[in-house]
Amino acid sequence: MGCPHTCSFCDQRSISGSQRAPLPEQVREICSMAARDIKDKSETEIAFFGGSFTAIERGYMLSLLEAAKPFVGEGGFKGIRISTRPDCIDEEILSVLKGYGVTAVELGAQSMSDEVLALNERGHSSEDTRKASALIKSFGFELGLQMMTGLYGSTAELDNFTADEIIKLSPKTVRIYPTAVLEGTRLGELFKSGEYKPMEAEESAKLCAGLLKKFLDNGIKVIRLGLHASELVEGKLIAGTYHPAFRELCEGLIFRKEIEKALCGRSGKFLLQVPVGAQSKAAGHKKSNIEYFAAKGAHIKIKTLPELCGYNIKLSEEVD
Ligand code: SF4
């Protein structure tokens, strides 16, 4: 939608606006359909995502909000979520959003290293993210922050630094996007010229598993880890991290670490108890954790234990 920026990872120049911009009538139609189909709407939000919502043409932005507003509130949806850039937030726009029933604002922080932001041509600073976050919270909106890992010029240390800085801003939610290199982007050119070496898949999953745990330990919900599975991304992907079940991969690694700690190098037969619903995550992607420990002489059988939650486990030796 006429974004003047040229972020290194973004392929907006190769996407025609008309392909994706919804009309207010379509917003009404989608909201009506959802209102009909979703029984308990009190926990569901209407979201305007995939762009810098507050930076699009004002009349168009208001027409979309006007279309969504009647579906929010008493008996309707919980609220409206939008995503935008940290430098596209000020008091005036937040007052407008408030008046239209917006309840949550997410910022694409991407990195809290100014060097990484500059190298990836984001056009804003980490200070913009700090200031916008404080302003959003002072207006009573729910704050969400999005970060990327493995950007050009970044390292695992810098990505951990970004996560630590984000935690200091105490958002309610976080999204973590490992960098996917798409055809038609600046990153794609840098990758082809050999100037940018994307993070290896294994390192990326390990890093993101650590970040996921770090945010959760600090009481911050991670509402997305990895890009949504989409034909658009899959068709244009030339390098970087993209896996349709990326979160499961990371969660498997968290469980692997917990099991490793509990095993303390022991071998034999073990019963591993995990929270309800976590059996396949604990077993790892395609049972990789089971195989990993079996190769070390530890044979694990997994069962659930309702008292457990999160990534907590209980390991006991199995008696034949
Ligand atoms: S990521 Fe957002 S701000 Fe950056 S170029 Fe793409 S649309 Fe513009």
Residue 300 CB–ligand 1 contact under 6 Å: no
The total of other beta-carbon atoms located within 10 Å of residue 154's CB is 23
> Of residues 318 and 54, which shows the higher confidence score?
54
Ligand 1 centroid from CA 160, angstroms:
23
Residue 110: what pLDDT?
98
Residue 225 pairs with which residues in a beta bridge?
176
Residue 229: what pLDDT?
78
Residue 22: what pLDDT?
87
Residue 179 CB–ligand 1 contact under 6 Å: no
pLDDT in tens, 114-133: 999 999 999 999 999 999 99
Q: Mean per-residue pLDDT for 259-265?
A: 97
Residue 126: what pLDDT?
98
Residue 298 pairs with which residues in a beta bridge?
268
| 201-217 vs 156-168: helix crossing angle, rounded to 10 | 20
In the predicted structure, residue 15 carries a pLDDT above the cut 70: no
Residue 17: what pLDDT?
45
Residue 220: what pLDDT?
98
Confidence (pTM) = 0.93
- pLDDT above 90 covers a percentage of the chain that reads 86
In the predicted structure, residue 145 carries a pLDDT above the cut 90: yes
Residue 238: exposure state from Cβ atoms within 10 A (0-12, 13-18, ≥19): middle
Ranges 19-33, 99-113, 166-180, 250-264: which has the least confidence: 19-33
Ligand 1 centroid from CA 118, angstroms:
14
Residue 5 CB–ligand 1 contact under 6 Å: yes
Q: What is the mean pLDDT of the chain?
A: 94
Residue 1 CB–ligand 1 contact under 6 Å: no
Q: Mean per-residue pLDDT for 220-246?
A: 88
Residue 16: what pLDDT?
45
Ligand 1 centroid from CA 12, angstroms:
7
Residue 3: what pLDDT?
81
In the predicted structure, residue 193 carries a pLDDT above the cut 60: yes
Q: Mean per-residue pLDDT for 254-268?
A: 97
Residue 77: what pLDDT?
96
Per residue, the 3-state secondary structure of the chain, as one string, reads CCCCCCCCCCCHHHCCHHHHCCCHHHHHHHHHHHHHHCCCHHHCEEEECCCCHHHCCHHHHHHHHHHHHHHECCCCECEEEEEECHHHCCHHHHHHHHHCCEEEEEEEEECCCHHHHHHCCCCCCHHHHHHHHHHHHHCCCEEEEEEEECCCCCCHHHHHHHHHHHHHCCCCEEEEEECEEECCCHHHHHHHCCCCCCCCHHHHHHHHHHHHHHHHHCCCEEEEECCCCCHHHHHHEEEECCCCCHHHHHHHHHHHHHHHHHHCCCCEEEEEEECCCCHHHHHCHHHHHHHHHHCCCEEEEEEECCCCCCCCCEEEECCC
Residue 51: what pLDDT?
77
For the chain, the domains span: 12-244, 252-317
In the predicted structure, residue 232 carries a pLDDT above the cut 80: no
**CATH no. of 12-244:** 3.20.20.70
Where residue 148 falls among pLDDT bands split at 50, 70, 90? Answer: very high
Ligand 1 centroid from CA 50, angstroms:
9
In the predicted structure, residue 2 carries a pLDDT above the cut 80: no
Where residue 20 falls among pLDDT bands split at 50, 70, 90? Answer: low
Residue 84: what pLDDT?
96
Q: Mean per-residue pLDDT for 141-164?
A: 98
In the predicted structure, residue 53 carries a pLDDT above the cut 70: yes
Ligand 1 centroid from CA 29, angstroms:
27
Ligand 1 centroid from CA 3, angstroms:
6
> What ligand 1 atom has the least distance to the C-alpha of 122?
4
Residue 138: what pLDDT?
98
Residue 18: what pLDDT?
46
Residue 111 CB–ligand 1 contact under 6 Å: no
> What ligand 1 atom has the least distance to the C-alpha of 6?
5
> What ligand 1 atom has the least distance to the C-alpha of 3?
8
> Of residues 220 and 13, which shows the higher confidence score?
220
**Phi, psi dihedral angles at 80 (to 5 degrees):** -120, 135
The protein residue whose alpha carbon is closest to atom 6 in ligand 1 is 10
| C-alpha to C-alpha distance for 205 and 226, rounded to whole angstroms | 10
